[in-house]
Structures are given as structure tokens and as C-alpha cells.
Structure 1
Amino acid sequence: MKKHMLPLYSAAALLLASTLAVAQPADLVRKAQAGDAQAQLDLGQMYVEGRGVAQNDEKAAQWFGLAAAQGNALSQSNLGLMYDQGRGVAKNDVEAVKWYRLSAAQGEANGQFNLGVMYEDGRGVEQSDQEAIKWYRLAAAQNLLDAQYNLGLMYVSGRGVEQSDKEAAKWFGITAAKGHDSGQVNLAVMYATGRGVPLNEKEAARLLGLAAEQGNATAQVNLGTMFEEGRGVKRSLSQAYFWYALAAAQDLEDTESLRDEAAQKLKPAERAALDKKISAWKPKTTNR
């Protein structure tokens, strides 16, 4: 495979509300103003997403802050992320770490994961792969996919742990089975190269297909390569062009040349039909 064999992924977790708000905004406001921490969390989440209210990061941060001050663990993680990203508040890594740590100490998986990211990156704290691993493990034990995925990356690179392709493949496999597209890509790489698992190009192509259908550009270009070379799948220039074109549409580096080279080998009518399919294509969504 030609591109992006082991893409790194180490970003803060998404803002996640513990429960989706079902009340009308006015009802939530009344509860939130009365000091209901769950209502404050839900209202903050609504402002983050612009769901039922006009999107407003400043108001989101204010409501997360009120709930966080009452000890609401998920609000603490969300407030930390607002400081982490400078959304609604001035960006402040030290303040982000403060709130992540309070959340993590209560066992909140998102707070644990985000704190791990800060240690891995050395933002707001002294860089420590060992501390990153510690917090990733705690979050992974609660089945947080991004934490499980990051553990796989740490084992691939041997950061904070003894390097182990077998352990990396285990963690990528856990996330891949749950629909994590980057986990699927990296596990595919392991199968395509025989790292940590038996060499199996058919399984590699299958996993790339799952991630490509979700819109993962790295998976799309690698799947295109599998089709172009007939590795794990029946050789198909039309399928190679299809996946190269989708990856190129996302501006993935070097994919335009791969797309154009494949296009030159197709008949005009075949390419026109494929371009029509490409224009209508939409990624599949998962429940993760």
C-alpha cells in the first residue's frame, strides 16, 4: 500500500453529554438557573451543538463552568476541552489540565482520556508517556474507543510501553470491531504487512473497505491501491479510480496523481459513469 501506513491520531475527545436533553430550552434554562447540574450540562451541550438554540460557545462554556463547579465530572471534562481548544474562553492548557484532572479523578472516561492526551503532547503538564499510558488505560477500561485506539498507537511506537505489534493489533482490533475507522485502517495495515498478526491481504482489504465506506480518506487511497494491484481483492482499475477520486476529493496528499493515472487507463464512458457515482456517494455512519 502506498500511503499513510500508520496515521497518528491523538486528539482530545469530543464533547459528550451524559444524556441527551429532551426538555425544551426554556425548561432547561429554568432548571439550570435553579442550580440543576445535569440541566446545566445539557444546556451547555445544546449551545455547543446549536441544537434547539443558536450555537454559542461562550454560553456553552458558562453553563459547563457552573456544572463543573458543582463537581459534575462530564462538565469538568467538557470545560477542560473548551479551554483546550479556546472555544468560548481564552485558550489555556494549564486550565484545561486542571479541569481534566478533576474529571479524571472522579472516573470520567473522557476526562481521563483528555488528560492522557495532554501528558502525551506535553501541553499544560510536563510531557510523560508513562502518565499518558496510565490515563489511556483507565479510559480504555471503560471502553472509550479513542483511548483504546491511542493505546494501540503507543504500542506501535513503543512510547511509555515496550514496543509490541501484537498488543497494538489487539487494541486496533478492539476499536475496529466497534466501527472506529482509524482503528480499521491501522489493523488493515497490520494484516497487509504481517505485523502482530498473520499476513492476510484479504482481511486488510475488508477492513479498508469498512473504513473507506465511512469516508476515511487514508482508507480510500489504500483500498484504491489494493484494487489497482489486485491485493486481497480482484484487480479492478475502475474500483481503484473510484476510491482514489473520493480520497482526492478530500485533498489527501498525492491522491490527485493516483486518480489521474487511473483515469487515463479507463474508457471515457466508464469514467463518466464512475464520476456520476462518485458525485452521488455519501459516507456511511456508525453508532460509535
Structure 2
Amino acid sequence: MKRLWIASSLVFALLLQPLAATAAPLDDAIALYNQKQYREALPTIRGEAKKGDSTAQWYLAQMYYYGQEVGQNYAECAQWSFKAAEQGNTKAQYGLGFLYEEGLGVPQDIQKAFTWYAKAAEAGHPTAQEIVATMYMKGLGVGKSYGQALRWYTEAAGRGSRFSRYQLGRMYFYGYGVEKDETRGAKYYEMAAQDGQVDAQRELARYLTGLKDQPGKRVEGVAWYVKAANQGDGESMSMLACYYSDLGDNNAALTLHRRAAEMDIALSQQEYGKMLCAGKGTEVDYEKGFIWLSKAAHQHQPQSQYLLGMMYELGKGVAPDEQMAYAWYSVADLYGYPPAAEHKAAVRLRLTAAQIEEGDAQAETIMSSY
């Protein structure tokens, strides 16, 4: 199952922080563990775990998870996590939720995953609160409930979770389980964006640049696109490229559209293809332009579908083929791109009945591949 939240390689590492009120020998063993002296730490940790100490049980579970001085064994990890979790160890409860979610050492069971995440969330574990909120939001392992999602995102946001602040922004911005309030949503976006949450930076930028009657906000929004793009966000690169294009800076626009296109951003695949065909910021390259427009066309970009029709009709970057031109014009027309209908009709006049029938079939094949 795809992780709800964070990469599995980080889950347990984030939890390895000593709990207070442990016995002195165990304190020493944990210190050795944190110094990666696993061989020296293992005897005490194992001994205390067998005596029922939940902290030791949790550390022993980690050693089995990572194979630290013991053979990697997810089943043993799950058993020791369960012993600690039953005693109220919050980190173990969260970890056990993760094991059930991934099916590591236990049968994969999203309902049990939710149960253990929820126990950790109730005990104040912020990441568990984020995950529980997301599970309520999506209806995973529990009935969908925007109200509960709002509750848990709010709890986690209060503990500093930038992801939860971003999610709260989305809920208020789009009215998921609450009255729609774009201003309040934008405030949550800004809180998360200030803390480096890339999705929040992009959405805040989208909101601010959309305030047409406030030019100063547009400039602020572009600055947030820059921050998100610098973190590798493809959509922000694409929007920045459009901004540079509007300013007439074709070199900057081309570079950003190329980077975003390579990240599978459909709009940039289209715009990069168009720039290659027009020779903006680069030499004219119809063949390469055709490739990128094809990628965009298969991502439901109607202008790209229309342009492919033109390239087939004119033989630009591809061998002339009026039947294929007719097929692509038909697809663009079905997607509601106005110029496509006229071109489709013009090409149709030059085709035989058999070619028209085959072109219609090709258009259906293209549509069915989406």
C-alpha cells in the first residue's frame, strides 16, 4: 500500500527518542544505542524488554526492524511493538499502525492500522494525528468524515505540523466540511508556507497571483512560486515559466518549462513543445516539439491535440498524414477546442469514406487510451 504520509525508511527513526523515567541501566543502554553501539546496548535492552519495560520493548522492536545486531525480522518487530503498545507506549502504537498499514510482520490490515494510529493520536502523537486526519479525509480504514479530519488536523497543527496547516488551508479554501472561507484558508497556507511546506507555498502563490485587483499581491505570489520551485515543485516551475513568458523572457521560460515538462507537468510539456516549434528561446525543432506536444496531448491538453493535427496535416516534425490529422482534430474537437472543428471539416473534405471511417476509429482509440 502506498504510504499515507512519510517514507517507511524514516518512520521508526523519527520515533527513536528516549522516554523519561527509565531505569539507569536502560538509560545507559539507550545512550549506547544512540551512539550506534548496538552490540553493547542489546543485552540490557533485551533483558529489560523481557521484564516488561515498554521503552525497552520499543527499542528492541527497532533493532529487529533495522536488523541492528539482530537479524532483521519484521515479525519480531511487530511482537515487541505490540507488547509496548498495549502498555500505552505512544511511539509503539504509532509504529504498530505503520506495520499494519504496510503489512510488515503482520497481515496488512488498514482497519487495524487506523485503530493503532488513533490510539497514538489520542495520546498526542502529532504525526499519528496527521495520519488519522488523512484517513478520515479519504475514508481509509474508517468512514469518511470531514468533521473528524478537521478535528485531527487542527490538533496536529496546534502542535506545529506544517502539513496539517496546509490541509486545514485546503479544507477552508474549498469548503471541505466547513463553510468555504478563502481568506482563512490562505492564512493556514501562509502558516505552512512560512515553515517550508512546498504544497502550501504553491497554493498560496496561486491564490495571491489570482488577486487581479491587487498587483502587490501578485508580486508576492510570484515570490512564493520561486520558493516552491526552488524546492523542486514542478507545477510552480510551470507557473513561473508562464510568468517569464508574459514578460518576454523566452530563455528563462524555456528553461523552466523544460524542467517542469521533464517532471510530467502537462501544461509545460505543451508550452515547451510550442516554444520548440516556434523557435522561442531556442532554434526551431519541429521533431522535438512534436514529441513534447504528443506527451501533453495524451495528458488531455486540447490545444496540443489540435497542434498535433496541424503537424500531421502540414508534415511538420512528422510525415504528412491527413487521416491522422483528422483523428487528432476530432479528439481536440471532442475536448471542446474551438478551432479544431473547422480544421477537422476542411480535412474531412479531402478524405475518402474509408479514410474517414478509419480516422474516426483512430480518434476513438486515442480517446480510449486516456
Q: 216, 227, 241: which is aligned to 2:233? A: 216
How many Å separate the matches in 2 of 1:198 and 1:266? 27
Q: 158, 161, 175: which is aligned to 1:144? A: 161
Partner residue of 2:252?
A: 239
Amino acid of the residue matched to residue 19 of structure 1?
Q
Partner residue of 1:266?
A: 281
Moved more, 27-36 or 103-112: 27-36
- Find the residue that maps to 1:239 and give its secondary structure: helix
Partner residue of 1:106?
A: 123
Number of aligned residue pairs: 254
Q: 2, 19, 33: which is aligned to 2:17? A: 19
How many Å separate the matches in 1 of 2:107 and 2:114? 14
Runs (4 or more) in structure 1 with deviation over 6 Å come to: 46-56
Task: Among all aligned residue pairs of Structure 1 and Structure 2, give the percentage whose two residues are the same amino acid.
Answer: 29
Partner residue of 2:219?
A: 202
Partner residue of 1:253?
A: 266
Unaligned runs of 5+ in 1: 1-9, 269-288
Instruction: Give TM-score, length-normalised by structure 1.
Output: 0.76
**Structure 1 contact 65–79 (Cα < 8 Å) conserved:** yes
How many Å separate the matches in 2 of 1:102 and 1:114? 12
**Structure 2 contact 42–69 (Cα < 8 Å) conserved:** no
How many Å separate the matches in 2 of 1:47 and 1:152? 39
Q: Quick one: structure 1 residues 251 and 48, their matched pair in 2 at CA, closer, same or farther if it must change by over 3 Å? A: farther
Partner residue of 2:137?
A: 120
Q: Quick one: structure 1 residues 183 and 255, their matched pair in 2 at CA, closer, same or farther if it must change by over 3 Å? A: same
- Find the residue that maps to 2:221 and give its secondary structure: helix
Offset at residue 151 of structure 1 (A): 0.6
Q: Quick one: structure 1 residues 131 and 239, their matched pair in 2 at CA, closer, same or farther if it must change by over 3 Å? A: same
Q: Quick one: structure 1 residues 168 and 91, their matched pair in 2 at CA, closer, same or farther if it must change by over 3 Å? A: same
Q: Quick one: structure 1 residues 109 and 225, their matched pair in 2 at CA, closer, same or farther if it must change by over 3 Å? A: same
**Which structure 2 residues correspond to residues 1-288 of structure 1 after superposition, within 5 A?**
11-13=4-6, 15=11, 16-19=14-17, 21-33=34-46, 34-35=48-49, 37-38=54-55, 41=58, 61-62=78-79, 64-194=81-211, 200-230=217-247, 235-263=248-276, 264-268=279-283
- Find the residue that maps to 1:200 and give its secondary structure: helix
- Find the residue that maps to 1:30 and give its secondary structure: helix
Instruction: Give TM-score, length-normalised by structure 2.
Output: 0.60
**Structure 2 contact 237–256 (Cα < 8 Å) conserved:** yes
Offset at residue 65 of structure 1 (A): 3.5
How many Å separate the matches in 1 of 2:234 and 2:67? 28
Note the alpha carbon deviations across 1:132-179, whole angstroms, 9 max, x for none.
Answer: 111111111101111111111111121111110011101100010011
Offset at residue 190 of structure 1 (A): 0.9
How many Å separate the matches in 1 of 2:57 and 2:260? 40
Offset at residue 88 of structure 1 (A): 4.7
Offset at residue 24 of structure 1 (A): 2.5
Offset at residue 47 of structure 1 (A): 7.1
How many Å separate the matches in 2 of 1:54 and 1:210? 43
How many Å separate the matches in 1 of 2:6 and 2:108? 16
Between 1 and 2, higher relative CO (CA 8 Å, sep ≥ 6) is seen in 1
Offset at residue 265 of structure 1 (A): 1.0
Q: Quick one: structure 1 residues 46 and 187, their matched pair in 2 at CA, closer, same or farther if it must change by over 3 Å? A: farther
**Structure 1 contact 74–110 (Cα < 8 Å) conserved:** no
Larger radius of gyration: 2
Unaligned runs of 5+ in 2: 19-33, 284-370
Offset at residue 256 of structure 1 (A): 2.4
Moved more, 75-84 or 12-21: 12-21
Q: Quick one: structure 1 residues 207 and 17, their matched pair in 2 at CA, closer, same or farther if it must change by over 3 Å? A: same
Q: Quick one: structure 1 residues 191 and 90, their matched pair in 2 at CA, closer, same or farther if it must change by over 3 Å? A: same
